Structures are given as structure tokens and as C-alpha cells.
Structure 1
Amino acid sequence: MKITVLGVLLGVFLLAGCSQPKAEAQTQSGGTGTIKAINHTKWAINHFSVDAQSGIDAIGPFDGGGGGCCYGVPAVWQPGMTVRIDWERGEASTEGFPGFADREKYKAWLKIKKANNKELSKTVPLPDYTGQETCGITVHFLPCDDVKVTTSCWSPANANYPIKLPLEMKEPKVCPK
């Protein structure tokens, strides 16, 4: 195998890309973390981003995922700080899936599924993280097309985790406006 200088430089550039935070996004601990999500809804999250940075994963109903690299918050939290969450939610069911053999039936089924997809965007407050270590960002997708975020390093299973919601949440008959 022949290794070229260009190949080595490209490898170094790719490896460094995720460890280099944006200038305005230095964290208190000097690094960044991943973009993760927890989906508390019956919908699939087909894709999502935080401030235009991809969360990478699609996330099933009542599940978690993510893994987008890298997200860091400014070293000092200030009142009024927000993040923009963009996402697409859609049906998670494969009910009625006709298989791939009959292409026309498959396309018709897919069209029905895609008709239920919905592109959403919401700007939400970034909770105060003063005096705390930050570990990227975790987005919680909630019923009624709502979201909450945290920069906590605690696991959602830990009592210190700041967002204490059940994984499986039901959509109310009427969503608050």
C-alpha cells in the first residue's frame, strides 16, 4: 500500500475536523461533545439538526440516538441564549408494506408514508449551565412538536439529569398553542 503526503494530510484534516470547535463555541471544559436526542413521541425523527449541525441519526419512536459531531456551547452562559432545532418527523410504522417486488405498489405505499412527514423548526432556550461541565447537547423531542435541550453530562438514567420525563409520552387530544 502506498501512502502519499496528500493522503496523510487528508487523514489528519478529517480527524481534526471533529475536535476543532467553532471559535464562538468553546466549552467550559475546553472541548465539544456530540449531538444526541431522545424521542419521547410515537413519531419517527427522520433527521434533525441543532443550529444547522446534523444530529446524523434517524430515531425511532420512544428511542434515543444521534451522534453528530461536534457541538459546543460558549464558555460563559448568558440569559437569552437559544438554539434552533430543525427536524422532520414521520410515520414509524411499516404497516401495509408491500415489499419491493411490485415497484408500483411500493411507490404508492411510500407516497402515503411521506405525505405524513412534517418539517419542523423551533428555537428554544439554552438552559443555564453556569458552573457545570458541558457535554455537547441532547435534544428531547416531545409531544405536540415541542423540544427541550440540555448540555448536561449526566446520563438520562441518573437522578441528576435535568430533564425528568418518561420516555413514552402520549400526544394529548389538543396541543397547547
Structure 2
Amino acid sequence: MKIKLYLVALGALLLTGCSQPSAQAGVQSGGGGTIEAINHTKWAINHFSVDGQSGIDAIGPYQGGGGGCCYGVPSKWQPGMTVKVDWESGEASTKGFPGFADTAKYLAWVKKMSENNRQHSAVVPVPDYTGQKTCGVTVHFMPCDKVKVTTSCADYGRPGYPIKDPIKMTEPKVCPK
């Protein structure tokens, strides 16, 4: 019964996410799509959102993911346009995982792993997409808790994709401020 209720609640959440308004209320949407992400760091992205809309997926180090439904950008790009990205980064390792049999050991391991979790928030400029088809938003999580976004319909790593940073990036010992 619990699983059935969970599935119903999850389905309702996904459906309501797809009826969300465009990136800026009252502005006609220029192109809808999903909220995707590329993680260029050694940290896991435990969860993330763009302008309050969930990216749905947790993303491992040096991976892509997401899939939050129905993010639309305004039909016309404006100078100074931004999005707010919130995320939690954390430990990506399963080192020391004790299994589930001993609840006390498992909970102690979860607590230890959660000690590295960090909350982040950034207001990020949206690059000019004038004259281009838009496909939602893709967030790139970069070293030093930096973020880049694009509305491009091209896939990461393909010609025409605007963000060229390699997937595996090394975080410097000291991040610039």
C-alpha cells in the first residue's frame, strides 16, 4: 500500500512540474524542455533546482543527468537575464558502506557521509539565445562551486554546443574568490 501511495504522489509531482509557468512569470515561453545537468566535479550533486523547479535527478561525479519536466525560457532574450540555481553537493563514495543489516552501523555511516554535504546557491547569467531554438536549460556544475547554464538544443560534446569545458575538471587547491 505504501509503495502504491508513493507512486501516486510521485506521478502527481511529475505532472504538476510540467504545468509550471515559464522562467519569468507573465512572459511568453520561447521554448520548453527539461532541466538537465552536467557535473564537471568530483562531488555528487545530491539534488538541484533552477528557479525553484527541481532537476529531479541526483548526479554522480563527472556525469550528466536531470530530467525535471518542462522548463521554458522567455521567447525573447533580454540583457541581464539570469536564473537561480540551488544545489547540494556531497560525498560521492560508498567507501565503508556497512550494508543495511545493522541499522546502527548504517545510520552512523549515513551521518559520516552527510558531513561533507554543502548547500549552494548561485544567480547565473543566461547566455544570449537570440535567433536560436531553445530546449529548456542545462546546468553545468563546475569546480569551485561555479555554475554555467545554456538553453542550447545541441548535446554536450557535440558541435554547436556552447560550453566546451571537459567533463573531468580538477578543482584547484585554492579556489579564486
TM-score when scaled to structure 1? 0.86
Measured in 1, the distance between the counterparts of 2:112 and 2:17 equals 39
Matched, 1:171 2:171: yes
| 3-state SS of 1:73 partner | strand
Question: In the superposition, relative to structure 1, how do residues 156 and 101 fare at CA in structure 2: closer, same or farther (>3 Å)?
Answer: same
Amino acid at match of 1:24: G
Measured in 1, the distance between the counterparts of 2:116 and 2:95 equals 14
Measured in 1, the distance between the counterparts of 2:113 and 2:106 equals 11
Amino acid at match of 1:81: M
Percent identity at matched positions? Answer: 72
Contact 1:48/1:54 (<8 A) preserved? yes
Q: 1:42: which partner in 2?
A: 42
Q: Report the CA distance between 1:33 and its aligned residue.
A: 0.4
- Structure ID, larger Rg: 1
TM-score when scaled to structure 2? 0.86
Amino acid at match of 1:160: G
Q: Which whole-Å deviations, capped at 9, do the CAs of 1:115-166 have from their partners, x for residues lacking one?
A: 1100110001011101111000000000001100000011112121000010
RMSD: 1.9
Q: Relative to structure 2, which stretch is displaced further, 102-111 or 15-24?
A: 15-24
Q: 1:105: which partner in 2?
A: 105
Measured in 1, the distance between the counterparts of 2:149 and 2:26 equals 19
Measured in 2, the distance between the counterparts of 1:32 and 1:110 equals 37
Q: Report the CA distance between 1:18 and its aligned residue.
A: 2.1
Structure 2: state its 5+ residue gaps: 1-10
